[in-house]
Amino acid sequence: MAREYRQHTFQRPPGATEILLVRHGESRAATPDNPFPLVDGHGDPELHPNGVLQAERVGARLRTEPIEAIYVTNLRRTAETAEPLAGHLGLTPRVEADLREVHLGEWEGGVLRMKAAEQDPIFLEMRREQRWDVIPGAESWETINARVTRGLRRIQSEHPDQLVVAVVHGGIVAHILAHATGSKPFAFNGADNGSITHIVMMEEEIMVRRFNDASHLLDTLHDGSGQLT
């Protein structure tokens, strides 16, 4: 009888690290008279009540997964999003500051949202050129890539052959996937708040398993859910 060669489900390569990139829940609204507080120059809003609900949905969705660690950034919206899952799993989140959101220079504190709504010429140019540093004082692709790569490699070195969660930001999810796939820089912008993106960190490459899984969030999403900050 001839040998059969079946198709198989994905198996994590030996030594690799699987990371579930969770975008934080929806943060509070930006207004001109109440800008976001800054932490190390980055806007640091708390979660909107809808974002708190999204965090609870993330926790419920992932509570049965064999997760070994939870990472957050130094910005409060990631810590607040991680809290329900951490409670389910009995884990204390670790801070990986190099996965913080893209620095927006003069447009921090919620200004980007307002400029986007106004269709400001600089915002439109930023989208055309697919470069954050069109905004005065914002980070370049190279600077973002250097720090995000450092952060991911630190996580990988700590967790070979394990599954971990990293609660991060829309701009960072987009950057990681663009880097991993070689796509245009903004090809993956707009992941939904609370969505799950699945990557596999290997020695020489990053494999993308899924992007923007939001099936646990459908009643929490609205027209602004894909905004970046």
Q: What is the CATH number of the domain that holds 213?
A: 3.40.50.1240
Q: What is the pLDDT of residues 13-38, one digit of tens each?
A: 999 999 999 999 999 999 999 999 99
In a domain, 127, yes or no: no
pLDDT for residue 96 is more than 70: yes
Q: What is the pLDDT of residues 117-144, one digit of tens each?
A: 999 999 999 999 999 999 999 999 999 9
Residue 55, domain extent: 17-102+140-218
For residue 28, give the DSSP letter.
P
pLDDT for residue 222 is more than 90: no
In a domain, 112, yes or no: no
In a domain, 111, yes or no: no
Q: Please write down the HEC assignment for all residues of the chain.
A: CCCCCCCCCCCCCCCCEEEEEEECCCECCCECCECCCEECCEECCCECHHHHHHHHHHHHHHCCCCEEEEEECCCHHHHHHHHHHHHHHCCCCEECHHHCCCCCHHHCCCHHHHHHHHCCHHHHHHHHHCCHHHCCCCCCHHHHHHHHHHHHHHHHHHCCCEEEEEEECHHHHHHHHHHHHCCCCCCCCCCCCCCEEEEEECCCCEEEEEEEECCCCHHHCCCCCCCCC
Number of domains in the chain: 1
pLDDT for residue 214 is more than 80: yes
In a domain, 41, yes or no: yes
The pLDDT of residue 229 is 61
The pLDDT of residue 227 is 66
Average pLDDT over residues 183-198: 97
User: What pairs with residue 120 in β-bridges?
Assistant: none
The pLDDT of residue 223 is 76
- pLDDT band (50, 70, 90) for residue 228: low
Q: What is the pLDDT of residues 54-88, one digit of tens each?
A: 999 999 999 999 999 999 999 999 999 999 999 99
In a domain, 119, yes or no: no
- pLDDT band (50, 70, 90) for residue 226: low
In a domain, 108, yes or no: no
Q: What is the mean pLDDT of the chain?
A: 96
Which stretch, 5-9, 129-133, 220-224, has highest mean pLDDT?
129-133
In a domain, 63, yes or no: yes
Average pLDDT over residues 93-119: 97
CB atoms within 10 A of CB 13: 12
In a domain, 33, yes or no: yes
